[in-house]
Amino acid sequence: MHILHVVGARPNFMKVAPVIAAFREYPVRQTLVHTGQHYDAGMSDVFFRQLGIPAPDVNLAVGSGSHAVQTAEIMARFEAVVLDQRPDVVLVYGDVNSTVAATLVCSKLGITIGHVEAGLRSFDRTMPEEINRLVTDQLADFLFTPSDDGDLNLLREGVDDKKIFRVGNVMIDTLVKLKPQAEAVTRDDDVFERPYALVTLHRPANVDQPESLSRMLCAIHDLSRDVRVVFPVHPRTRARINALGWQAPANVLLVDPVGYVEFLALQMRAAVVITDSGGIQEETTFLGVPCITLRANTERPVTVTIGTNVLVGEDMSRMLEAARAILAGRGPSGGIPPLWDGLAAHRIAEVLVAAHIERESQVVQLAS
């Protein structure tokens, strides 16, 4: 059995790592393709090393571009790889352009597709990721969902229930594995010595619009009067901040992006996390750390209904109100969703290996 994994951006790395590890327990050949959709040698290498991911067998080196150009480039370059490798199953992860591009290629070639993190919906089609999710899930043969809302979304969209497998959250598999390392992290500065709010901003809707970014920076300034703010700054976000000429006040610490383990350590010790990231909503829910999400909607509603997440949209007064309530001990306590237990990748491997054995048995029966 030959499994080909496709990743394109750092959020995919945390998802693919435990799946690759789970398949090592079986006599399975694995190939890792990095599309190069988002690639920074320093940061990508750190993530691969910390997560125990082997070096990619293929790097398509697509680079940045518009959604259409990037998706088309991935499709053109990936098709040749698939025709050469002829895997039994291609596994795609999350909702980036690499996910939908690889799915389209495989669908046209008749190659089995598995989507890890299927069924998530924000119900906001202005988000490119939502389009990627919708298309991928209509074409995939195996849909591995992290929570029951994913199952329900797929059923509403007419997906055959025999294709749907609720396995849990592979992001949490990685967190569970590396949590002991994160607990041992130390820093040269005094960040861990007093309470702090951890902030991350990277979504274009938040950082590429000067007015929106200015409002958020002003709110961060206001919050810093109540608590120290630690802000690992994405390179694109830093460029936008510099363009605005914003000067961080003394109680706001702007730091460079860090590796997965170091960032997990920052999350674990934070009094509150303020973010526009999808994955961080899940991680904080598992860790029991209050999270404020600067989005009007989320494709991970279980982090709100069960977990520690609060949505405030772009209303910075609501953000400050929620943050101050959390700092005063009135934040959501939350719980951990079912099957977020560190074993999701093993369930994926079990499903695909069993399906492969069944197919091989049918082939033998037909031949005889």
Per-residue pLDDT band for 44 (boundaries 50, 70, 90) equals low
In a domain, 361, yes or no: yes
| Cβ-contact 124, 32 below 8 angstroms | no
Domain shared by 157 and 228, yes or no: no
175, part of any domain: no
Question: Are 74 and 200 within one domain?
Answer: no
Is pLDDT larger for residue 144 or for residue 48? Answer: 144
φ and ψ at residue 252, rounded to 5 degrees: -115, 120
* Same domain as 320, residue 282: yes
pLDDT at 30 over 80: yes
Q: Which of 100, 96, 59 is nearest to 77 (CA)?
A: 59
Top-confidence residue, 202 or 220: 220
Is the pLDDT at 366 greater than 90, yes or no? no
Residue 212 contacts residue 314 (beta carbons within 8 Å): yes
With cut-offs at 50, 70 and 90, classify the pLDDT of residue 202.
confident
Range of the domain at 128: 2-169+340-367
- Pair 316, 361 in one domain: no
Residues 132 and 7 in one domain: yes
Q: Domains in the chain: how many in total?
A: 2
Same domain, 191 and 315: yes
Question: Which member of 202, 234, 346, 356 is catalytic?
Answer: 202
Full 3-state SS string of 281-311? HHHHHHHCCCEEECCCCCCCCHHHHCCCEEE
* Model pLDDT, residue 368: 67
Task: Tell me, yes or no, whether 158 and 22 share the same domain.
Answer: yes
Confidence of residue 345 (pLDDT cuts 50, 70, 90): very high
Is residue 116 assigned to a domain?
A: yes
CATH number for the domain that contains residue 194: 3.40.50.2000
Binned at pLDDT 50, 70 and 90, residue 196 comes out as: very high
Token pair, residue 32, equals: 């890792």
Same domain, 109 and 31: yes
The pLDDT of residue 342 is 97
32-41, 53-62, 319-328, 348-357: the lowest-pLDDT one = 32-41
The CB-based long-range contact list for 361-367 (8 Å cut-off, 24+ gap) reads: none
Q: What is the arithmetic mean of pLDDT over 7-36? A: 94
Q: Is the pLDDT of residue 42 over 60?
A: no
| Alpha-carbon dihedral sign for residues 291, 196, 171, 334 | negative
Instruction: Say yes or no to pLDDT of 83 above 70.
Output: yes
pLDDT at 172: 98
Quick one: average pLDDT of 178-207? 92
Residues 345 and 320 in one domain: no
Residue 92 lies in a domain: yes
Pick from 35-44, 304-313, 333-342: least confident: 35-44
Does residue 117 or residue 50 have the better pLDDT?
Answer: 117
Whether residues 37 and 147 share a domain: the answer is yes
- In this predicted structure, the answer to whether residue 50 has a pLDDT above a threshold of 90 is no
Is 202 assigned a catalytic role?
A: yes
Spell out the residues 6+ positions from residue 310 whose beta carbon is closer than 8 angstroms to its own. 290, 291, 292, 293, 304, 322, 331, 332
Say what the pLDDT of residue 251 is: 96
Q: 348 and 260: one domain?
A: no
Q: Is residue 177 one of the residues assigned to a domain?
A: no
d(CA 54, CA 56): 6
**Residue 69 placed within a domain:** yes
Asked if residue 179 belongs to a domain, the reply is no
Instruction: Say what percent of the chain tops pLDDT 90.
Output: 81
The pLDDT confidence band at residue 365, using thresholds 50, 70 and 90, is: confident
- Res 170 pLDDT > 70: yes
- Is 174 within a domain? no
Type of residue found at 169: N
* Banded pLDDT at 41 (limits 50, 70, 90): low
pLDDT tier for residue 235 given thresholds of 50, 70 and 90: confident
One domain, residues 344 and 305? no
Quote the DSSP letter at residue 226: T
Mean pLDDT in residue range 222-242? 92
Which pTM value belongs to this model?
0.93
